[in-house]
Amino acid sequence: MRSNSIIKFSWKYTLSVFAVLITIFARESKAQKLNIKNNVFWDTKDGKPIYSQGGGIFTFKDPKTGQEKYYWYGVHYKEGETYRNSPNKTLPRQTFEAVTCYTSTDLVNWTHESDAMSKEVVNEQGRAFWVGRLGVAYVKEINKYAMFIQHGNRQGNQVLISVSDHPAGPFTWHQKKSMLEIIGTPNTGDQTVFTDEDTGKSYLVYSYGQGRNKIYVSEIGVKNGKVDLLNSVQIYHSSGREGNCMFKYKGKYYMAASNLYGWDSSLAYYLVADNIYGPYQPVNNMLVMDGASEDYAHVTQTGFFVTLRGSKQETVIYCGDRWADFAGNGLGYNQWVPLSFNGAKPYFNSLGSWNLDAKTGEWEVAADNNWVKNGSFEADRKKMPSPVKPVQTYLIGWETAVLKGNKVSLDTATSPVLNYANTEEERKVVIGERGLNISDKVPFERKVSQVISSSPYVKLPNGVYNLKASIKNTEGFDKLEMYAESGGKRHATNVKGGSQQFRMVELKGVQVRNGKVEVGFLAKGKALASCQVDDISLIKAK
């Protein structure tokens, strides 16, 4: 009897321990997928602001522990603080504070390691008026880390190379390099550092300093005892491009870039090759990434990429720069989304919220993702229609149907204006400089809509959603309606009365069927009646 009791007790104990282990494992597995939320300002894991613009992420070993970590370098501009605290005003300039260094093991929880390069070092040979577009490479020949950064002062725009014994710095002045003898201009147009994990070699990827109509790749190494560029290979010569950056996926090299729109957002372009020096296809003809056209790459410029070779899949993360403080492009400086691939063809998954497991490489759309593209209308930086670059008669991601009234055209005397310039006071309530404008000089009927559907890589789940928007309008509308239509069923709410202030309008209980829904606005107004709409969201109900 005693022996049987011991066996029973042992079996129950084993089952209990097994159940506990299963619970712990389930919790840990679930916790591994961590949320990346765009359209917000990011913090470190201890709640301090992350200031990192125009940089890159590289994998180095922590000198203290030997553990491999992600090292994220970028520039802290003083205006980044100002805009984060009061994002209702676009700032006219950028003031360098420091090159920051953050570390992480999961790409979500970040620790501020140091200010890797100080203002004193940057200004060592004269006050710098521009510092940005940087990356770091490990140079094994001298066992040092080298930072390449655009640097402009009274001596002109050139490339500053600084070095450090440790990945987190401090980086000290090494040499300032003119690119004149290499490419014909002293400066690079834009630049990033790319490290090929298969070879361990690092490269500077950069454009021609004037017009940016050429792109080059140079290997980083040691020449005459100094960290330097060992060669220069031109891989592209055509229309001007900036935001030059590179990634590698399944053995192929991808050269990516944005358009020449200043601080504004842009389409995301790419070329692909089997060798880092090319030839890149299509030759001198960059393609637009599928999925990036509806909101100008989630209202960003190409910044850099991170390739995760996880235990279950290889995932490339597009890390876009949103120069919000200098251009009013909404909230947040860093916008990250996962790419998908059809063979060698990349697809841009424009997501507001998604979950990532950096160890396995797996990712998924988060439950709180906003499915509307360009919902705050910040992709369209100019007054639309725009007769200047980019010449455009429509709002990115939206279809405008004129049922009655003046036609949309480049004729500024007759065409209705499609977007609205938010005032500083209004930007305390709504996001960014721009919003939707529905108005005309004559009696009009207008439909502005967007069709949201599953892509080949991201499924729009069926279920119940809530549609929201900030709206203000004058009197003079016979009809002003926000609607959603899916699977033959229409949901709508009438906007009643006029309001000089933006107010939240919500349409609850939208049933999405068959992975497709149309959302939009219908307006029938008298001459000069006007309605402004901003911050549209379609989020799955909890």
Sign of CA dihedral 119, 71, 300, 254: positive
pLDDT surpasses 60 at 258: yes
- Overall average pLDDT of the 37-45 stretch: 98
Distance of alpha carbon 231 from alpha carbon 319, whole angstroms = 27
pLDDT surpasses 80 at 220: yes
Sign of CA dihedral 221, 223, 229, 234: negative
Using a 10 angstrom Cβ sphere, with 0-12 exposed, 13-18 middle and 19 or more buried, the burial of residue 221 is buried
Q: What tens digit of pLDDT does each residue of 391-429 get?
A: 999 999 999 999 999 999 999 899 999 999 999 999 999
List the single range of 138-142, 259-263, 331-335, 470-474 with lowest mean pLDDT. 259-263
Q: What tens digit of pLDDT does each residue of 427-467 get?
A: 999 999 999 999 999 999 999 999 999 999 999 999 999 99
pLDDT surpasses 90 at 153: no
Split at pLDDT 50, 70, 90, the class of 173 is very high
List the single range of 1-15, 44-58, 210-224, 513-527 with lowest mean pLDDT. 1-15
Split at pLDDT 50, 70, 90, the class of 155 is confident
Strands 314-321 and 334-342: antiparallel
| Residue-level pLDDT at 501 | 97
| Residue-level pLDDT at 206 | 98
Token pair recorded at residue 429: 């309530």
Token pair recorded at residue 131: 């510092």
pTM as predicted? 0.93
Q: Return the ∠ at Cα 353 (arms to 349 and 356), rounded to 5°.
A: 80
3-state secondary structure of 304: strand
| Residue-level pLDDT at 412 | 87
| Residue-level pLDDT at 132 | 95
b/e 143-172 (16+ beta carbons within 10 angstroms → b): ebbbbbbbbbbeeebbbbbbbbebbbbbbe
Instruction: Name the phi and psi angles at 409, rounded to 5.
Output: -160, 180
Distance of alpha carbon 533 from alpha carbon 542, whole angstroms = 25
| Residue-level pLDDT at 61 | 96
Q: What tens digit of pLDDT does each residue of 367-392 get?
A: 999 999 999 999 998 999 999 888 99
Distance of alpha carbon 174 from alpha carbon 161, whole angstroms = 6
